[in-house]
Amino acid sequence: MAKLIPASERLVRARKLIQKARDYPAPTTGLGKSDLSYVANVKDLLRQAKDMIKFISMTPTASAETKAEVKKIYEEIEQAEKEILS
Protein backbone atom coordinates (compact mmCIF):
# COMPACT_ATOMS: atom_id res chain seq x y z
CA MET A 1 0.00 0.00 0.00
CA ALA A 2 1.26 3.48 -0.84
CA LYS A 3 2.53 5.65 1.96
CA LEU A 4 0.54 8.83 2.51
CA ILE A 5 2.55 12.02 2.22
CA PRO A 6 1.41 14.97 4.37
CA ALA A 7 0.40 18.17 2.57
CA SER A 8 3.33 20.11 4.01
CA GLU A 9 5.77 17.57 2.59
CA ARG A 10 3.99 17.65 -0.77
CA LEU A 11 4.42 21.43 -0.93
CA VAL A 12 8.15 21.09 -0.21
CA ARG A 13 8.57 18.35 -2.82
CA ALA A 14 6.68 20.39 -5.44
CA ARG A 15 9.02 23.34 -4.87
CA LYS A 16 12.03 21.03 -5.21
CA LEU A 17 10.68 19.76 -8.53
CA ILE A 18 10.22 23.33 -9.77
CA GLN A 19 13.81 24.11 -8.81
CA LYS A 20 14.99 20.93 -10.50
CA ALA A 21 13.23 22.03 -13.70
CA ARG A 22 14.91 25.43 -13.47
CA ASP A 23 18.31 23.79 -12.96
CA TYR A 24 17.88 21.28 -15.77
CA PRO A 25 20.76 21.92 -18.18
CA ALA A 26 19.76 23.24 -21.58
CA PRO A 27 21.59 21.62 -24.49
CA THR A 28 24.41 23.78 -25.84
CA THR A 29 24.41 22.15 -29.26
CA GLY A 30 21.70 21.56 -31.79
CA LEU A 31 18.41 23.31 -31.14
CA GLY A 32 19.25 24.49 -27.62
CA LYS A 33 16.12 25.22 -25.61
CA SER A 34 13.96 24.15 -28.56
CA ASP A 35 15.26 20.57 -28.34
CA LEU A 36 12.24 18.30 -27.91
CA SER A 37 13.96 16.13 -25.33
CA TYR A 38 14.81 19.16 -23.19
CA VAL A 39 11.28 20.56 -23.44
CA ALA A 40 9.76 17.18 -22.60
CA ASN A 41 11.98 16.72 -19.54
CA VAL A 42 11.26 20.21 -18.20
CA LYS A 43 7.51 19.82 -18.77
CA ASP A 44 7.59 16.41 -17.07
CA LEU A 45 9.23 17.86 -13.96
CA LEU A 46 6.65 20.65 -13.84
CA ARG A 47 3.84 18.13 -14.35
CA GLN A 48 5.16 16.09 -11.45
CA ALA A 49 5.08 19.23 -9.30
CA LYS A 50 1.44 19.86 -10.29
CA ASP A 51 0.51 16.26 -9.61
CA MET A 52 2.15 16.46 -6.20
CA ILE A 53 -0.21 19.24 -5.04
CA LYS A 54 -3.24 18.62 -7.24
CA PHE A 55 -5.65 17.36 -4.60
CA ILE A 56 -4.46 19.26 -1.51
CA SER A 57 -6.97 22.10 -1.90
CA MET A 58 -9.84 19.60 -2.24
CA THR A 59 -9.22 17.88 1.08
CA PRO A 60 -11.51 18.89 3.94
CA THR A 61 -8.58 19.24 6.34
CA ALA A 62 -6.73 21.78 4.20
CA SER A 63 -6.51 25.15 5.90
CA ALA A 64 -6.89 28.47 4.13
CA GLU A 65 -3.13 28.98 4.44
CA THR A 66 -2.45 25.66 2.75
CA LYS A 67 -4.89 26.42 -0.06
CA ALA A 68 -3.20 29.79 -0.59
CA GLU A 69 0.18 28.06 -0.69
CA VAL A 70 -1.10 25.62 -3.32
CA LYS A 71 -2.34 28.51 -5.44
CA LYS A 72 1.03 30.22 -5.08
CA ILE A 73 2.86 27.07 -6.21
CA TYR A 74 0.61 26.75 -9.27
CA GLU A 75 1.58 30.33 -10.17
CA GLU A 76 5.26 29.48 -9.63
CA ILE A 77 4.91 26.50 -11.96
CA GLU A 78 3.37 28.60 -14.73
CA GLN A 79 5.98 31.32 -14.28
CA ALA A 80 8.81 28.77 -14.33
CA GLU A 81 7.49 27.21 -17.52
CA LYS A 82 7.39 30.59 -19.25
CA GLU A 83 10.87 31.52 -18.03
CA ILE A 84 12.52 28.20 -18.83
CA LEU A 85 11.00 27.51 -22.22
CA SER A 86 10.97 31.05 -23.60
Full DSSP string of the chain:
-PPP--HHHHHHHHHHHHHHHHHSPPPSSTTGGG-HHHHHHHHHHHHHHHHHHTTGGGSTT--HHHHHHHHHHHHHHHHHHHHHH-
- For the residues 15-43, what does the mean pLDDT come to? 88
- For the residues 19-34, what does the mean pLDDT come to? 84
Domain ranges of the chain: 7-23+33-85
Q: What is the pTM of this model?
A: 0.88
The confidence band for 1, taking pLDDT boundaries of 50, 70 and 90, is low
Q: Residue 26 above 90 pLDDT?
A: no
* pLDDT value for 41: 94
* pLDDT value for 5: 85
* pLDDT value for 70: 95
Candidate from 20-29, 46-55, 77-86 with smallest mean pLDDT: 20-29
